[in-house]
Amino acid sequence: MNPWIAIGALALVGLLIPLGMMAVSSLIRPTVPEKGKTATYESGEVPTGGTRIRFNIQYYMVALLFVVFDIETVLIFPWTVIYRNAVSMDGVGLTNALAPMLLFIAVLVVGLGWAWRNGAVRWVRNPDRSQRSVDR
């Protein structure tokens, strides 16, 4: 039997089950249209103000830096296991095994230096220092 048939059948079942559930639920659920159902619900409170709130971009920068360096850690751990075996094999020298990881870490260090220089890792900014930079 061709393995692609099994993959296609699995994909078909994976699509049909959720679509079937949504179709059945739309047929048996009660529909009572009223204005209260379309109103914004704020835990019983009357909504006030606009929906657009300005968030500090620092939260996103810290999250992105976390993702980048978390992925770095995930990639370095398996490399250390492979590195031990690669050095002991014939024909693979220390330089050939170590150079790609050193290049990878160097790129990450350059990225961290750039983020540090631009203030992305500074959580609390000194208002006096930021005012001086505006005055210049």
**Residue of 78, 63, 76, 61 whose CA lies nearest to 108:** 76
Q: How far apart are CA 80 and CA 78, in angstroms?
A: 5
Amino acid found at 132: R
Token duo for residue 104: 């990878």
Average pLDDT of span 40-49: 70
The residues with which 42 forms a beta bridge, in sequence order, are 45
**Residue of 121, 129, 130 whose CA lies nearest to 59:** 121
User: What's this model's pTM, rounded to 2 decimal places?
Assistant: 0.48
Per-residue pLDDT reduced to its tens digit, 22-36: 999 999 988 877 877
Q: Computed over its alpha carbons, how large is the radius of gyration of the chain?
A: 27
The phi and psi torsions of 94 (rounded to 5 degrees) equal -65, -40
Q: Which residue did the predictor score with more confidence, 102 or 129? A: 102
**Residue of 66, 78, 75 whose CA lies nearest to 103:** 75
